[in-house]
A and B are shown apart, each in its own frame.
Chain A
Amino acid sequence: MVEVKLHDIGEGMTEAIIIQYFVKKGDHVKADQPLVEIQTDKMTAEIPSPSSGVISAILIPEGQTVSVGTSLILLEGNEKTTPNKSKTSEEQVAVSAAVDYSQEQAKTLHQTSKSKRVLASPYTRKIARENGVDLALVTGTGPSGRIMDEDVYRFIEVKKGSGEQKEATSSHSVEKQLKNTTSPEQKSNEMVKETDENVIPFRGRRKQIAKKMSQSLYTIAHCTHFEEIDVSELIKLREELKENNLNISATAFFIKALSLSLKQYPIFNAKLDEENEVIRLEKEHHFGIAVDTEDGLIVPVIKNVESKSLRQIHDEAKLLTKKALENQLTSKELTGGTFTISNVGPLGGSIGATPIINYPEVALVAFHKTKKRPVVTENDEIAIRSMMNISMSFDHRVADGATAVQFTNYFMKLIENPKFMLVEMV
């Protein structure tokens, strides 16, 4: 028997949501055949079968969030086994018993053994009972895998969200009878019983985005300022390069110019560590690029922009955007950002915004649509120039408005006179 576990498929990943299983109990599978689709903070991935065999049990229902190391599937292998050797046969019995738990009609007392310890305080257990939650199905996120009140509530939410009409797992009918009229779960199910067109599942990436956004907004003291930048010179330079078959996107220039600005004002490439009462300046510039996809916003990261050429940045940005649109980003490409940009210009519209910072970063810059506008030049003449607005949100706990203005001024200088960038290039 092989336990297929949720393993860390990229740095920093701690938990994932089970999106869907491609297999069901009794299915024959080959080695490397995808078994289950999971979604972490910002990416989806498939977990392949470690060996060929028959699926003997699916341990965690779809829609549930589980932490790394949780067993998802039991596989009756007939080839080589995996390194996840289980310790004792007793334990396996315990696992499979937990699976059948909900189907079992009467779980008699004498089956309770010390090894089936419930890692939850009596108070939490009470909450679970009152909501008809079977703790055997809940993954604990507390210390040592302890099931916390929040885990139970989250489980209830997920269950509601997935629209499962499954009965609570109470195995005795009297309790069911007593509850049939009053079960809170049932009530809420009735409330959300609407037509399918009206309901958008609030799960997966949408829910992750919501979680991150509110965390950022509740934590960071957001402050946004706007600036307009004359990008005519940049456009000219790009055209010149194009004539020489060098196609470098404006975004690449923005990123490079921002990186150069961050060298002057490193406070915007930092992380606030409140617990230890320090602000950590990050030496490396890892740029997150916000990409709009069908499933919602996603932010792949270009690493070490400070030591990359414009061409490298251009190529990488292009590749990451493509991967983002095709939902092929790996966890590595999605984590570790220190600064984020959002180029909403190509989408048309918008002359300003108040972007939400990608927590725990300190700042984010959004680039808006470039438009030809009449501009008064230094010589008091009106000229037609290509103008672009930017919005910069920064963490006012970490930096002040004056520094932020100096930062965008420096950036403006580099973009308005791209040649200046040469001076700073390494």
Chain B
Amino acid sequence: MVVGELAHERDVVIIGGGPGGYNAAIRAAQLGLSVTLIEKDQLGGRCLNKGCIPSKVFTHASIKNAELKHLDELGISFSDSSFQLGKLQNYKAKVINQLRKGVESLCKAHKIEILKGKASFLSNDRIGVEANDSFEVYRFQHAVIATGGKLIPPKHIQIDHERILNAQSIFSIETIPKHLIVYGSDYIALEIAMSFNTFGSQVSFILDDEKEEFSFDSSINRELQRVMKKSKIKIYKNRKIIQATSTLENVTVELETNEGNRETLEGSHFFVSCKTKANIDELGIERLPINLTNKGFIEINQVGQTSIQNIYAIGDVTEGDALAVKAIKQGKVVAETIAGIDSEIDLTFIPTIVHSVPPIASVGLTEEEARKEYESINIGQFPLASNGYASILGQKDGFIKVISDAKNDLILGVHIIGAGAVELISSGVIGLENVARDEDIMFPLYPHPSINEGLLEAIEALKEKAIHKPPQKGTKVNLKSK
């Protein structure tokens, strides 16, 4: 370390160039602050390089693959419809490269200084950046910790990145697994299970943490299991993993049921969905010190500020879902707060999405949560099989479900499984944020024909007014009284 070094002076120093970090950097630059972004690896972070984006390349390919049968129905046939994983890997690399370049040029355009290196705090206004042989010290007014999370495998499982894979290694796989065993219940586990299923892998799905159910709305859980069963994905519930062992050729996963019965699953590959922990080990924050939560994440308030007032934290280093949507929002709020603007993070209506086949998207309360919190609720559910456009697309699985407070028609939650779910959920998010009641969503005009109309009919179904849904048997509908 250099002794008696001269520190460089900076307004805002951001550590980590993932979605949280670069959003914070650009927003801060937009607000006239001089910004330095420190990244030890590549801009875009785990999301762009190893997470969201690569996984979506795979799910996109799987969705297209699943459509092949339908294309044939439409008269479009291919003599050779083989799937080449290698080509997909090239495509993935191209997309990631393009997006990363985009981020880099945006940062450049905003005159954001990018430092390559490993950062560690020296005090609450100084940070050292180590790159190759050099060690430079920067003095900052404000710092933002955006160093992300680290994947932690469950107990008794060792990720070898060959046969036993996690989210970082599975998308670099070079052959399509013959029999893929998936352990998890989150979006990543589902996306991987469904993707490789359409690529031709046999898939077995073990719900993690001895779960009995997925954690979506109960109706979504049912439909999801029906769809998985239809795709011949076998689901194992209430199972504990005793151990997983791999050889050069295959993987053996030993399970124990609730009753204590042992069973063994043999597969070619084993994917393990991991929890995350804050990536703060080499950051030197214990020197400051910054308060951590019980779970070991950095404690922040509603503007992303840590226990040290000029240091902020965003994204996976903070508690809550390890989702880029959270990091992006926090990044912007933190930048605005530093610039003196009143801003706020509220993740109440964070949408949960799964790019599975069919996709799942959800926001607000599930039926079960709503029943706990409200005296009486209305449920409106509309099957996509009754939506004209879904029929044209040949994607009739799934439904749209809306939950409202029966007392005052306030919308409480929107849950979608089926074509268009991910794009359509935005309507639900906007509705919830704007305190919408049923009429607020029922009144607008919906493009026809489109999946959007499914949302309209689900809202109408709250009071049995959906046009393309027959009345429930034994109920006499009197719309006037409603």
Contact = CB atoms under 8 A, between A and B. Distances in A.
A166 interface: no
B319 interface: yes
Contacts of B307: 106
Nearest to B375: A87
A175 B336 CA distance: 11
A142 B343 CA distance: 24
Interface stretch (B16-24, B242-250, B402-410): B402-410
Nearest to B345: A109
A195 interface: no
B365 interface: yes
Interface string B417-441: 0000000000000000111010000
Contact of A106 (B299, B365, B405, B435): B299
B309 A112 contact: no
A119 B432 CA distance: 9
A175 B303 CA distance: 9
A113 B346 CA distance: 9
Given A120-B435, A129-B342, A175-B303, A109 B347 contact: yes
B301 interface: yes
Interface residues of A, number: 35
Interface string A264-299: 000000000000000000000000000000000000
Contacts of A162: none
Contacts of A243: none
B434 A122 contact: yes
Contacts of B337: 174-175
Contacts of A126: 342
B369 A108 contact: no
Interface in B322-367: 337, 340, 342-348, 364-365
Interface in B306-322: 307, 309-310, 318-320
A130 interface: yes
A171 B435 contact: no
A121 B434 contact: yes
Contact of B409 (A115, A119, A144, A173): A144
A377 interface: no
Contacts of A87: 373, 375
A29 B184 CA distance: 54
Given A88-B373, A112-B346, A112-B347, A174 B310 contact: yes
Contacts of A144: 405, 408-410, 435, 437
A145 B374 CA distance: 14
B87 interface: no
Interface residues of B, number: 37
Given A116-B348, A119-B435, A174-B337, A129 B372 contact: no
A108 B299 contact: yes
B302 interface: yes
Interface string A157-181: 0000000000000011111001000
Interface in A120-157: 120-122, 125-126, 129-130, 142-146
A384 interface: no
A90 interface: yes
A119 B411 CA distance: 11
B300 interface: yes
Contacts of A145: 408
B293 interface: yes
Contacts of A110: 293, 297, 319-320
Contacts of B301: 106-109, 171-172
B303 to A, nearest CB: 6
A122 B303 CA distance: 15
B305 interface: yes
A171 B305 CA distance: 10
Contacts of B346: 112, 118, 125
Contacts of A115: 373
A101 B305 CA distance: 17
Nearest to A182: B340
Given A114-B348, A144-B405, A144-B435, 4 more contacts: A112-B302, A113-B348, A144-B409, A175-B342
Interface of B: 293, 297, 299-303, 305, 307, 309-310, 318-320, 337, 340, 342-348, 364-365, 369, 372-373, 375, 405, 408-410, 433-435, 437
A-B CB proximity, top 10 nearest? A129-B342, A144-B408, A110-B319, A106-B301, A146-B435, A144-B410, A178-B340, A121-B434, A174-B309, A172-B305
